[in-house]
């Protein structure tokens, strides 16, 4: 059992010390992945980036992830039995949310992309792995040297699925059975916009970059004030 995301990030960072070098970038999924990413970036002394992604929940159980969407496109893992109208509406809502995020909550700062970099892709956990799979697909377009998925807790099936897609999947806890990420945290409160901004400002204060990957070729400064909560399961 993990105490909270702070402890989770600290434990995970210990498993990632081998990636401490100038060509490593931590990429976090908001909102829950940002505290995780902060502590990893802090311990390794590497930049922290944020990839705006939101899960697509099942109509009968929003905590069950069926896919994910970014700023311009989407990925559906399990469309069987789900109406096209539901998927279309959900994607439209997510795209609008992320467009507002892009419009209102960042300052542009162009820096070198992820080409030939080691990317540590982090979130606070995964059950289906659909959100992280979508993120992997997006990051692969930038041709990084390698992608490492790092999460505090994950299902056996998600680990097995993502191992086929990336160089490594690093996890603190792989339980025999998992239905939600929250059940493996004593404190799994939603991460507020203010907390997100605080973490990114703290990493800036350490002299490391706080960025938002708004496209695969442009990395942007992020001041995250969006009120929506995204939690990968």
Q: What is the pLDDT of residue 50?
A: 83
Confidence (pTM): 0.83
pLDDT value for 73: 83
CA atoms within 13 A on the CB side of 175: 17
- Say what the pLDDT of residue 158 is: 95
DSSP structural state of residue 123:
-
pLDDT at residue 152, rounded to an integer = 98
Per-residue pLDDT at 194: 79
Helix (H, G, I), strand (E, B) or coil at 5: helix
Q: What is the spatial distance between Cα 28 and Cα 12, in angstroms, rounded to a whole number?
A: 13
SS3 107: strand
pLDDT digits (tens, 9 = 90+) for 69-97: 888 788 887 767 888 899 889 899 888 87
Distance CA 169, CA 171 (A): 7
The pLDDT of residue 205 is 78
195 within 8 A of 227, measured Cβ to Cβ: no
pLDDT of residue 229: 34
Closest CA to 197 of 120, 134, 105, 73: 105
- Per-residue pLDDT of 196-216, as tens digits, reads 778 877 877 776 655 555 544
Residues of the chain with pLDDT under 70: 79, 100-112, 207-233
């Amino acid at each position: 059992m993990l105490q909270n995301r702070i402890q989770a990030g600290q434990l995970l960072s210990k498993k990632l010390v081998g990636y401490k070098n100038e060509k490593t970038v931590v990429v976090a999924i908001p909102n829950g992945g940002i505290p995780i990413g902060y502590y990893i970036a802090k311990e390794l002394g590497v930049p922290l980036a944020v990839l705006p992604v939101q899960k697509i929940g099942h109509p009968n159980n929003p905590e069950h992830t069926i896919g994910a969407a970014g700023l311009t496109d989407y990925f559906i893992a399990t469309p069987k039995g789900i109406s096209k109208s539901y998927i279309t509406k959900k994607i439209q809502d997510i795209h609008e949310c992320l467009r507002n995020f892009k419009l209102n909550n960042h300052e542009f700062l162009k820096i070198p992309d992820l080409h030939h970099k080691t990317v540590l892709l982090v979130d606070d956990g995964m059950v289906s792995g659909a959100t992280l799979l979508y993120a992997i697909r997006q990051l692969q377009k930038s041709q990084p040297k390698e992608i490492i998925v790092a999460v505090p807790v994950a299902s056996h099936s998600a680990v097995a699925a993502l191992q086929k897609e990336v160089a490594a999947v690093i996890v603190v806890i792989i339980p025999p059975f998992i239905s939600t990420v929250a059940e493996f945290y004593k404190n799994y409160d939603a991460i507020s916009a203010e907390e997100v901004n605080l973490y990114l400002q703290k990493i800036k204060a350490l002299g490391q970059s706080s960025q938002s990957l708004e496209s695969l070729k442009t990395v942007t400064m992020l001041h995250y004030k969006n009120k929506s909560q995204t939690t990968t399961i």
